[in-house]
Amino acid sequence: MALLVTLIIPIVVLVSLGCGSITPSIVDPLKGNQPYASEEEDQPMDLREGKPVYIWPVSSPDGRRIVFVSNRDGNTELYVMNADGSNPVNLTRNRGEDGNGSYAWSPDGGRIVFSSRRSGNWEIYTVKPDGRDLRRLTKSNGQDYNPVWSPDGHWLAFASNRSGSWQIYRMHPDGTGLEALTASLKDNDAPVYSPDGKELAFISNRSGSWDIFRMPSGGGEAVALTDFPSDEDHPRWSSDGQRIIFESDKDGNWEVYTLRADGTDLQGLTHTPAAESSPVYSPDMRHVAFASYRDGNPEIYLMNADGSNQTRLTFNPGNDICPYWSPDGTKIYFSSNRGGREEIYAIRMEDYQEITVSLPSDEEGSHGMGGYFEEHPIWSRDGRRITFVTGRDQTRQWQVIDLEAGRVERAAAELSGERSHTHVTASSNPAMPPDAVLSHDGRWIAFESNRDGNWEIYLAAADGSNPMRLTTAPGPDIHPAWSPDDRQIAFTSHRDGSSAIYVMDRDGRNLKSVVRHPSAWLPVWSPDGETLYFVAERGGHDELYRKNLTTEETVSLTPSAVKDGVHIWHPTVSPDGRWLAYVTNITGEYRVWVSTATGSEKRLLTQTIKTR
């Protein structure tokens, strides 16, 4: 079944070195010596044996752009770049897993539909190709996955297990008109529209194994096109709608097959002892591109539509997978890890010449508009400086803002000792699990782990010994945050189907929900322990909130951020509790902003840092 549902968590450790006391602030970060100026410019899917892969480069309808998935920024994100590889843009920039499943251009090329796990479970989103106007379309307790666009642009079909089993649904591109198209007792997945939009092909295990089915695109009787004891997967229509190509292990290993849309004229196109995967017809239906293991590692092959003249196109020890034709049939795009990481390549059909399409991360930016980003603002214990990370793609460096002098410069290593939180990789401190947070007294670490099959919060001694599981909910529990007195831990939980914030004692007792806003996450305490700050998604955008734990008053601090596609990350409070620093892309790039604790005044803190 083509449901590659995994949770990818970046390997980052947050070590709290500050104390819980409130210190006086002598700097007003909203004023200071403006503007702040940087003294130097910032620096710049494996194919598994026997299973298909549903991640690949997909060309826009006009052939000018490519959408693809990459983990170049530490977790799975969705990107768009020009067809020649220039101007890559990170569309999703989110800690949750994005795009790990099918994604598709709208017929007019104006939007991209994809699945994301940012809210704790898989939901369907759309976004413009420049990363703006993000819209969340589904909100269910189940997993919504594998979205595809109808040829007329009026519908989105997808798979969901919201009813308890996986069924095919459809809805309009604005999320309205939701209806179930299948209602079988078994699972259904991988819907794909016929070229005229009148029918859907999909896979279902209602007969005991995965078979190819066809049904009217508005729902109705489903007709089995295959009925073998083996599994079939990855159905794709020919451009004239007359045939469906797919892969099956009916002969003991995965091979490429094709049949008519009515289920007749079954033809096996490949016959080798190795796995063949991801077959796609050329736009003129004369050829089929596919990936094959016949040479010991996956390579891209080409054959005639009848299976003849099978020709190897790539020759590399890396994994070359996921072929996809350009709309004009002049190129075959594919993914390869030959350079040590997944990048996009192309084969020029006129001479079979390979072309490198996506550029290495140190050559071109991909974070939002222009590629530059900032993240993880951290206050010094005296409140005079803010340390943060700048970079492009996987190139990151610490910068520090001197709030009195109004100067930004590279952070010296000795400054790490005075940060209230210091980011340390797991490899540099192997005793600490990923995403561990040290208590203020330095005795304990709270961390998230899926070692027991689900993401839960754990407690351990500061050296990593004697770990104890604190939560036992069915949904992911993540983002632990210590209270100033180290007696409580706030965290994000998805136990009720949507993201909320809970607080518990250090030993896991006295668990209570404190923030029930949908999609609330990233809690941070005020220094006096009376207030929780958090981020919550509202109709396609994020807002930063403050909740008084005594009066329960909840106030949005960023109402001006009300527009689709705005994200807020890494909120942090100054040692005296008067100021907030956070990251937002409200101007297009992810930048560090600072505001009063009430949100009454705010400004871009790093507005004049140079970008390449």
Q: Could you tell me the CATH number of the domain that includes residue 405?
A: 2.120.10.30
Domain endpoint, select from 224, 251, 275: 224
Length of the chain: 612
Percent of residues, the chain, with pLDDT higher than 70: 79
Number of domains in the chain: 2
Domain endpoint, select from 189, 224, 259: 224
For the question of whether the overall pTM of this predicted structure is more than 0.85, the answer is no
Pair of tokens at residue 435: 């995403």
* Highest averaged pLDDT of the listed ranges 75-89, 135-149, 445-459: 135-149
84 domain-assigned: no
- Residue 486's pLDDT is what? 95
| Rounded Cα gap, residues 605 and 408, in angstroms | 10
Closest CA to 233 of 3, 72, 61: 3
* Degrees, nearest 5: CA angle 169-171-172: 160
Q: Measured on CA atoms in the order 164, 168, 172, 177, is the torsion positive or negative?
A: negative
Q: 32 pLDDT band (50/70/90 cuts)? A: very low
* Degrees, nearest 5: CA angle 424-541-490: 45
Q: 44 pLDDT band (50/70/90 cuts)? A: very low
Helices and strands (H and E) in the chain: how many: 0, 51
Q: Are the CB atoms for 290 and 278 separated by under 8 Å? A: yes
Closest CA to 371 of 13, 569, 86: 86
Q: Are the CB atoms for 114 and 98 separated by under 8 Å? A: yes
Closest CA to 237 of 212, 254, 220, 218: 212
Query: Does residue 493 share a domain with residue 374?
Result: yes
- Residue 604's pLDDT is what? 85
**Between 43 and 173, the higher pLDDT residue:** 173
Give the strand pairing for 299-304 and 287-292. Answer: antiparallel
**Between 11 and 203, the higher pLDDT residue:** 203
116 domain-assigned: no
Residue corresponding to tokens 């070229």? 195
Tell me the mean pLDDT in the region 127-151.
89
Query: Does residue 38 share a domain with residue 148?
Result: no
Which DSSP helix (H) or strand (E) runs through 251? none
Domain endpoint, select from 174, 205, 224: 224
Pair of tokens at residue 71: 């983990």
380 domain-assigned: yes
> 244-253, 295-304, 379-388, 423-432 — which is least confidently predicted?
423-432
325 domain-assigned: no
197 domain-assigned: yes
Identity of the amino acid at 112: I
Cα-Cα-Cα-Cα dihedral of 321, 327, 331, 334, to 10°? -10
Query: Does residue 180 share a domain with residue 38?
Result: no
For the cut 80, the answer to whether the pLDDT of residue 241 exceeds it is: yes
| Rounded Cα gap, residues 158 and 56, in angstroms | 18
Pair of tokens at residue 171: 């809805």
Burial (0-12, 13-18, 19+ Cβ within 10 Å), 229: exposed
Residues 411-457: pLDDT tens digits? 764 443 333 333 333 333 444 555 578 888 889 999 888 777 778 89
Query: Does residue 517 share a domain with residue 388?
Result: yes
Which DSSP helix (H) or strand (E) runs through 182? none
| Rounded Cα gap, residues 543 and 530, in angstroms | 20
Pair of tokens at residue 79: 């990107």
Tell me the mean pLDDT in the region 272-301.
91
Query: Does residue 588 share a domain with residue 440?
Result: yes
Pair of tokens at residue 550: 């005594």
- Residue 263's pLDDT is what? 95
- Residue 183's pLDDT is what? 92
Query: Does residue 458 share a domain with residue 567?
Result: yes
| Rounded Cα gap, residues 211 and 233, in angstroms | 7
Cβ neighbours of residue 552 closer than 8 Å, sequence gap 6 or more: none
> 64-78, 227-241, 387-401 — which is least confidently predicted?
387-401
Give the strand pairing for 456-461 and 444-449. Answer: antiparallel
The 10 Å Cβ neighbour count of residue 245 is: 22
522 domain-assigned: yes
For the cut 70, the answer to whether the pLDDT of residue 215 exceeds it is: yes
Cβ neighbours of residue 214 closer than 8 Å, sequence gap 6 or more: 199, 200, 201, 202, 222, 223, 225, 244, 261, 263
241 domain-assigned: no
> 134-143, 373-382, 559-568 — which is least confidently predicted?
559-568
- Residue 495's pLDDT is what? 82
Residues 562-596: pLDDT tens digits? 666 677 888 999 999 999 999 887 876 778 899 99
| Rounded Cα gap, residues 446 and 470, in angstroms | 9
274 domain-assigned: no
Average pLDDT, the chain: 80
Percent of residues, the chain, with pLDDT higher than 90: 43
Residues 318-362: pLDDT tens digits? 788 889 999 999 999 998 877 666 678 899 998 888 888 875 443
For the cut 70, the answer to whether the pLDDT of residue 164 exceeds it is: yes
Q: Measured on CA atoms in the order 263, 264, 269, 270, is the torsion positive or negative?
A: positive
| Rounded Cα gap, residues 406 and 110, in angstroms | 42
**Between 195 and 435, the higher pLDDT residue:** 195
Q: Are the CB atoms for 156 and 147 separated by under 8 Å? A: yes
- Secondary structure (DSSP) of 267-295: EE----SS-EEEEEE-TTSSEEEEEE-TT
Q: Which residues of 32-70 are buried (b: 16+ CB within 10 A; e: fewer)?
A: beeebebeeebebbebeeebbbbbbbbbbeebebbbbbb
> 92-101, 266-275, 429-438, 492-501 — which is least confidently predicted?
429-438
- Residue 359's pLDDT is what? 57
Q: What SS3 state is found at 142?
A: coil
- Residue 419's pLDDT is what? 33
- Residue 372's pLDDT is what? 66
Tell me the mean pLDDT in the region 367-380.
66
| Rounded Cα gap, residues 574 and 22, in angstroms | 9
> 284-298, 313-327, 387-401, 543-557 — which is least confidently predicted?
387-401
Query: Does residue 160 share a domain with residue 38?
Result: no
Look up the domain containing 416 and give its range. Answer: 34-42+366-604
- Secondary structure (DSSP) of 442-488: SSEEEEEE-TTSS-EEEEEETTS-S-EE----SS-EEEEEE-TTSSE
Burial (0-12, 13-18, 19+ Cβ within 10 Å), 385: buried
- Residue 257's pLDDT is what? 96
Tell me the mean pLDDT in the region 51-80.
75
